[in-house]
Amino acid sequence: MNENLTIHPDGRTTLRMQRRLPHPQAKVWRAITQPEHLAHWFPADVTIDGDRITYGFGPQGRITELDPPHVFAHTWGDDELRWELHPDGEATILTLTHTFTDLHGAASFAAGWHTCVLALLAHLDERPARRPTGT
């Protein structure tokens, strides 16, 4: 997984992670946008109602961009998450961009997202995996 971290002048930090998943874009799209799939790999229960997105452990968010099957962007409290999918032959390039204000949390965010993406890959592969937990 490729990762990079950018610290912006306004104090916000952006973590960008990219991974090639050996699955078609439509399958990956369902896995990152449908609550019944998110339940297998995302660390919280997710409910989507219109442009609102609610996480089991809070806070609420709002969908800010939805361009199926390419972009799913939403807030998570004050944080911003952007999931981008690009086809790569029979595979998909997943790019996750997480923008947040807690610079000191960068390492834990990176480790947490790495764990989540591994669980996502197991779900896509239809292999058993332990669901990550969050707080």
Residue pLDDT, tens place only, 74-119? 999 899 999 999 999 999 999 999 999 887 777 788 899 999 999 9
CATH class of 2-103: alpha beta
135, HSE (Cβ side, Cα atoms, 13 Å): 2
pLDDT per residue as tens digits for the range 9-42: 988 899 999 999 999 999 999 999 999 999 999 9
pTM of the model: 0.91
Q: What angle do CA 76, 77, 83 make, to 5 degrees?
A: 20
The one-character DSSP state at 130 is: P
